[in-house]
Homo-oligomer: A and B are copies of this chain.
Amino acid sequence: MPDAEILTEARVREIIQEEIALAFKKDPAKKHAMIIASKGTLDWAYPPLILATAGAAAGMEASIFFTFYGLNIIHKDFERKLKVSPVAHPGMPMPLPMPDIVTALPGMTAFATGMMKGMFRKKNVATIKELLDVARETGVKLIACQMTMDVFDYKESDFLPGVEFGGAAAALSEARKSHVTFFI
């Protein structure tokens, strides 16, 4: 009956360290991702949705808290609201380098938005609509920030079905449990 043998303290510590090493591999924080989406342009709508859906695909519990301009992403009218401005984006690959005064001209935001949509379509990258669908199908929690909704005069009915509503405290209480925490 080996189970009945007397365990020494040294043996007990050994067992503990074994169990702890295992436990850290299964650290529950590894399964949680909490992303804050604060930008309301087409380009910055991608990273939160791609990271959260990749997390869900890997079995993680992912949530996105949409605040400030990020509310655009889950607005019913997101297709029209999400644009990309070439101004102040000296890092944006453009067919031709342009001074800011040109990128500020009327029509350039529409041009840059169309150009970016075309680049993504040509490379078979999912659209924002498709990523939003995947997010909801795979259980990514989409939470609209109540404070900024109030500031910008949005109503709950302005947002896509499936969107939840919460404040900074709710966002933080999820972030506290998560290794993956990004402010985008």
Contact = CB atoms under 8 A, between A and B. Distances in A.
Interface in A72-86: 72, 81-85
B4 A6 contact: yes
Nearest to A90: B83
A67 interface: yes
A51 to B, nearest CB: 6
A90 B85 contact: yes
Contacts of A39: 91
Contact of A19 (B10, B13, B176): B13
Contact of A178 (B47, B55, B167, B179): B179
Given A54-B169, A92-B40, A107 B103 contact: no
Nearest to A169: B54
Most buried by B among A13, A54, A100, A101: A100
B183 A175 contact: no
Contacts of A171: 51
Interface of A: 3-4, 6-10, 12-13, 15-17, 19-20, 23-24, 27-31, 33, 36, 38-41, 43, 46-47, 50-51, 54-55, 57-58, 60, 67-70, 72, 81-85, 87-93, 99-101, 103-109, 119-120, 123, 125, 147, 150-152, 167-169, 171-173, 175-184
